[in-house]
Every structure is written in C-alpha cells, then in structure tokens.
Amino acid sequence: MASSNHQKKGGKISPPAKPLSSKSPKSALKAFFNSAYAQNLKEQICEMGRRQWQREYVDANGGNMAIRVGEDLALCTPASVSKGFMKPEDMCLVDFEGNQIAGDKPRTSEILMHLAMMKRQPRAMATCHAHPPYATGFAIAGVVPPRRMIPEYEIYATVGIAPYHTPGQPEMSRLIAELVDEHNTILMTNHGVVSWSHLDIEDAYFKMEIIEAYCRTLLVTAQLGVPPKKIAPELVVELLKRKKTVHIPDPRYRWTHAELARPEWFPGRKEKI
Ligand SMILES: [Zn+2]
C-alpha cells in the first residue's frame, strides 16, 4: 500500500513568515512570486505536469493545477501550455477571484473551479485537474466506480460525481465546490477529474493516479466474466478507521454495516453487486 508520507520537496524552504493576501503590498507579492519558496512550488507543479503528460492523463493543453499560497492567493498553471513541458517561469499568481497578480503568461481558464474548491474547502492546499481516459470514461457514463474492491482506493480516494456544465463558467465551479466537503476526487461528467489534497500538489496528483488505476482495474475485472469479490463491510470499517487517521473525508464514516454492504452498479453487469 502506498503512503502519503512522501518526501516533501519544499521541506527545507520555509513559507513567508507572515501569510500574504491579495491586499498585501504589491512589492511583497512580487518578492514572494520570485522567492526560493515559490520557485520550489513552481518546480513541483512542472514535475506533476510531466508525470501527467507521460501517463497520458492530459492531452494538448488540457489539465491544470493550483497551490494555495496565502489567505486568498494561489499559484497556478498557465493557459495554452502542454502540462508535460511547463517551465517554472510559466506559472501565474492569482487572487481568489481569479485576477492575475503575477506571471507573464495568462493563467488557466479553469482557475475559477480550483479557487471555488479552495474557498469551500479550507483544507484544500492543492488542486489538480486532468482528463485521464479510464476515469473520464466513467465520468462520461455518469457513474461513480463501485467501492470495496481495493484497500488503497478505500483509504485514499473518496469519489463524487458532478453534473456537466460548460468549462470555465461559474456554474461549473459551484457544482464541483458543493462536493468538496466530503469528497477529495470528483468525476466531472463529460469532462474529466479534479482532486484536492490537504498536503501538497503531489498528493493531489496521487488522487489522479489512484482513480485512474482503479477504473482501469475495474474494467479488467469486468471482462473476466465472474462476479467480483468485495471486501466485507466489517473489513471496510477497518479501512475507514485508517482513513480517518490520514484526514481524508468520507461520508461513510456515519454508515452502518448494512449501509456499507449496499449493492452497487458494476461495469458490464445488469444486476447490482
Ligand atoms: Zn478540463
């Protein structure tokens, strides 16, 4: 099982002593944007972009990421750049209304969605959006993957699904934000996936790997022609206890054993399992 306690790349460089906000002096915001701390975060975003492009989670200029860096400030990816080939100097600094404060390239057009998630979920330190094909397939079908199949998925992902709305518009941001209290990974119908982490951008990206690997594995299981085995509810409770200790939300914390045992839709089967 993977751990979220990965090495923090920003571990050696401290954030600004006094948290910044959009009302901080322009000179302080500029100094922050050019600081070693911000540079490190920009490099982390570039690295996550490379991983996503290599794994084919993003195509052309698709996908975007953001990191909370102040009371109402975020570093984010630029528009119209392949996520596989970004440079630290491409990154942008925005306030929580999406106004660009620093950066030469224009910020991503989907920033309002990331900001709406951060505003609604104060624990969201980083957000990641991509179009990984297997998970996006589930999002197009409009179905949340059935649970109780793989322990890692039970612990690290809590998946919800948001209805379609035109990308970049406030209504879409609202629909996504409504889900972030209890879900860290959201399937966007007819679009893709967006995730958030209370840790950092790598952890937000890990949610993308987890949902994509899970959806792909479920499709393999579906082709084998036998009913899948499911983890028993009492053992799911054990996993949920572990999930609480890593501070990931899940509406099932309140569920009874009978509710945890509820049959769910499974790919390729008419009856629920
Ligand atoms: Zn998108």
The domains of the chain, with CATH numbers, are 26-260 (3.40.225.10)
Residue 137's pLDDT is what? 98
Q: How far is the CA of 190 from the centre of ligand 1 (A)?
A: 10
DSSP 195-232: EEESS-HHHHHHHHHHHHHHHHHHHHHHHT-SPPP---
Q: How far is the CA of 235 from the centre of ligand 1 (A)?
A: 36
Residue 28's pLDDT is what? 95
Residue 5's pLDDT is what? 40
Q: Which of 267, 270, 263 is nearest to 223 (CA)?
A: 267
Q: How far is the CA of 132 from the centre of ligand 1 (A)?
A: 10
Distance, CA of 254 to CA of 86 (rounded, Å): 42
Cβ atoms 52, 38 nearer than 8 A: no
3 state SS for 93-150:
EEECCCCEEECCCCECCCHHHHHHHHHHCCCCCEEEEECCHHHHHHHHHCCCCCCCCC
Residue 179's pLDDT is what? 98
Residue 57's pLDDT is what? 98
Q: How far is the CA of 261 from the centre of ligand 1 (A)?
A: 34
Q: How far is the CA of 55 from the centre of ligand 1 (A)?
A: 16
Q: Per-residue pLDDT tens, the chain, 273 aa: give them.
A: 444 443 444 456 788 888 899 999 999 999 999 999 999 999 999 999 999 999 999 999 999 999 999 999 999 999 999 999 999 999 999 999 999 999 999 999 999 999 999 999 999 999 999 999 999 999 999 999 999 999 999 999 999 999 999 998 999 999 999 999 999 999 999 999 999 999 999 999 999 999 999 999 999 999 999 999 999 999 999 999 999 999 999 999 999 999 999 999 999 888 898
Q: How far is the CA of 53 from the centre of ligand 1 (A)?
A: 14
Residue 18's pLDDT is what? 81
The total of other beta-carbon atoms located within 10 Å of residue 268's CB is 11
Q: How far is the CA of 239 from the centre of ligand 1 (A)?
A: 31
Length of the chain: 273
Tell me how far apart the 2 most distant CA atoms of the chain are, in Å: 64
